[in-house]
Amino acid sequence: MTVALLVLPDFFLVALGWVLRHRLSFSREFFAGCERMTYFVLFPALLFQSILKTPITAGSALTLLQAVLIVLVVGIVLARLAGPLLKPPSLALASVSQCAYRFNTYIGLSLAASLGGPQGQTVMALLVGFAVPVANVAAVYSLARHSGGSLWRELLRNPLVVSTVIGLIANFAGLTLPQVVDVILGRLGAAAIVLGIVCVGASLSWQSGKTQPVLLGWMLAVKLIVLPITAILVGKGLGLSPLESQMLVLFSALPTASAAYVLAMRMGGDGRMVAWLISAGTLLSAFTLPMWLAIAQ
């Protein structure tokens, strides 16, 4: 019950975003602007500052890197396995496969702070920092094969990848920020989480386009069931601390990020199927997240 109560406020913010967009007539353009500001300005500031201020040792970084890589690889492999098993259209598979392993960082960092305080948010920031480039490479590569887009161009213009890499380089170089810059980034980051979660709710959509129910169910099962189980086993196998294990389970059980829809649309994929998966996954995760976190405890 305690875990469920901690998760509840973030999903109320998701619901608020949906109400503002679909019941109180806040325009699509309004939320599109909010999403762009969050994605290109606020969230990169949060990610960079969190990674820069995280005490990273080679041993702890390597263990967490191994853990998050195992979880992501399982998601990527199972997503691609849907091709030979279910034989969906190749573009549909390329579009929705990212929903099996991409994650909503806004919800993740907010819940990490609620569950583990500053230490929990620090571990989550490190997991996200390692996972963002890997997940983006896999998603962009899959769609680039169909759209003819450039993998490296997409990655180099991705603000989350850029802020993660710069944050890691600055951390290992031992750099510190001037106090004024640190305060500015802190305030930008504080706005990122709330605004990002509200925008998640505003973006929810139930139009799935060309229906592929078995394919959609496969991706939801991988993301919300298989990956949390994998994270629990990985945490035990690698001997992670209780807090690290809990954050890994939280990371693995997060719904898919709305950025998956943006990427699919920009690269000529089936955006409506991706939007439906994000919406269904976000709704279902309100029930599955507390369950997996309770098991992880």
Mean pLDDT of 68-94: 93
Q: Tell me the per-residue pLDDT of 34-64, one tens digit each, with 9 for 90 and over.
A: 888 988 899 889 888 888 887 766 677 789 9
Return the pLDDT at 242: 93
Return the pLDDT at 147: 57
Highest mean pLDDT among 39-53, 91-105, 186-200, 265-279: 91-105
Mean pLDDT of 82-102: 91
Mean pLDDT of 88-109: 90
CATH number, domain with residue 71: 1.20.1530.20
* Nearest partner of 160 among 260, 45, 246, judged by Cα: 45
Residue 103's identity, in one-letter code, is: F
Return the pLDDT at 146: 61
CB 139 within 8 A of CB 98: yes
Residue 9's identity, in one-letter code, is: P
Residue 10 has pLDDT above 90, yes or no: no
Q: Please list, residue by residue across 64-80, b when 16 or more beta carbons sit within 10 angstroms of its beta carbon and e when fewer do.
A: bbebbebbbebbbebbe
The Cα 65–Cα 86 span in angstroms is: 31
Domain enclosing residue 143, as ranges: 2-203+212-296
Average pLDDT value for the chain: 86
Highest mean pLDDT among 22-26, 98-102, 123-127, 165-169: 98-102
The Cα 137–Cα 213 span in angstroms is: 26
Mean pLDDT of 95-111: 91
- As for how many domains the chain has, the answer is 1
The Cα 39–Cα 65 span in angstroms is: 24
Return the pLDDT at 118: 80
The Cα 147–Cα 218 span in angstroms is: 24
E strands in 85-178: none
Q: Find where tokens 């106090």 sit.
A: 179
By percentage, how much of the chain surpasses pLDDT 90? Answer: 35
* Nearest partner of 123 among 112, 135, 107, 115, judged by Cα: 112
Q: Tell me the per-residue pLDDT of 180-237, one tens digit each, with 9 for 90 and over.
A: 999 999 999 888 888 888 888 887 876 655 568 899 999 999 999 999 999 999 999 9
Q: Is 174 left (phi over 0), alpha (psi -120 to 50) or beta?
A: left
Confidence at 158, pLDDT banded by 50, 70, 90: confident
Residue 66 has pLDDT above 90, yes or no: yes
The Cα 193–Cα 13 span in angstroms is: 10
Residue 101 has pLDDT above 70, yes or no: yes
